[in-house]
Structure 1
């Protein structure tokens, strides 16, 4: 699953630089995650880095975007090949 940022986000800006795929950016009110670029850090790290640094724990899995580890790895390979 791609990750998502909930409205509990406090715009602290610690997650954006941690994303190895550039999937996190400032939205209109809070930070947002581009699900086409989010691999939950599969291929880069063992755990999603944005979740590790978020001080308010507002980055859960997006239940509307289920993806297996294999699908996330395939997405990682496409992103890094580009």
Structure 2
């Protein structure tokens, strides 16, 4: 599970950025959001590992979407933001 989540962060840092509706999706912002996601994953892994396990399929899907995005990162911002938000619930 941790490997898949790390893959999301690495792909995010290399390809994408997470952004809110006021910010343009850029690789720099993605790297920042990837770090936020990694921190949230580490937090949830300690506080609620079952939650992290339950989200495994969503994380895998996110990794696939990020990998398939290539140069078009615009839609990936929302994916990373949604993962962080769901982990924060």
Query: Is TM (by shorter chain) over 0.5?
Result: no
Normalised to the residue count of structure 2, the TM-score between the two structures is: 0.29
Which protein is richer in strand relative to its size?
1
